[in-house]
Amino acid sequence: MRLILLGAPGAGKGTQANYIKEKFNIPQISTGDMLRAAVKAGTPLGLAAKAVMDAGGLVSDDIIIGLVKDRLQQADCANGYLFDGFPRTTPQADAMKDAGVAIDYVLEIDVPDAAIIDRMSGRRVHPGSGRVYHIKYNPPKVEGKDDVTGEELIQREDDKEETVKKRLNVYHEQTEVLVGYYGDWAKSGKPGAPKYRKIAGVGPVEAIRDSAFAALSE
């Protein structure tokens, strides 16, 4: 099973990625993790990436694709792999295609913006333990206080409504085009084209998981 997960920030990709990894016994390919590992190991690509990052630049798609190809040679990718958060742009998708990175499925988890804003902006966290609450769906017994310690809960910067809206705007501008990109490629029926599947990412987590598994067995 070789697949790409698409969806806006807060659509629940991370949760579903864990279910998919376990079911198919495949690793999740994180470009951030790969970059850190390559820099730490001092590989040629890692050293090239480090020079760019140290200068405050963005690592080029060529370097990232090189890291991806190296990563896919490792033994744990024998059964396949899962990309979440990559590719983010059309040039990255083109580069993956040109590099011959095989993809069986592209799975889009579709959640309306309003539901994502509601889901993320309502989160409250207990800094000491990492316990997460939601003011609507999983409220603490006492408003604003941790159930166990009674200490104040906080709202993380990433979860503030303005931040969430900005992240959604970036997704719509840069990454949403991949929905069309992979959808059109799937319809083309060309050799190597992936299957494109879209599921609703609202409702109980287990129901979304079952939809994902059903979509990946068609």
Catalytic residue among 123, 124, 197, 209: 123
Total residue count of the chain as it appears in this document: 218
Strands 28-29 and 81-84: parallel
* Per annotation, catalytic residue among 69, 131, 167, 198: 167
197 catalytic residue (yes or no): no
Dihedral, 95, 97, 103, 104 alpha carbons, nearest 10: 150
If one counts every other C-beta atom within 10 angstroms of the C-beta of residue 8, the result is 24
Question: Which of 21, 50, 69, 88 is labelled catalytic?
Answer: 88
Active-site residue among 13, 119, 197, 209?
13
> Is 124 known to be catalytic?
no
DSSP 3-state of 122: coil
- Is 88 designated active site? yes
Q: Can you tell me the distance from the alpha carbon of 70 to that of 44, in angstroms, rounded to the nearest whole number? A: 11
Show which residues are catalytic: 13, 88, 123, 156, 167
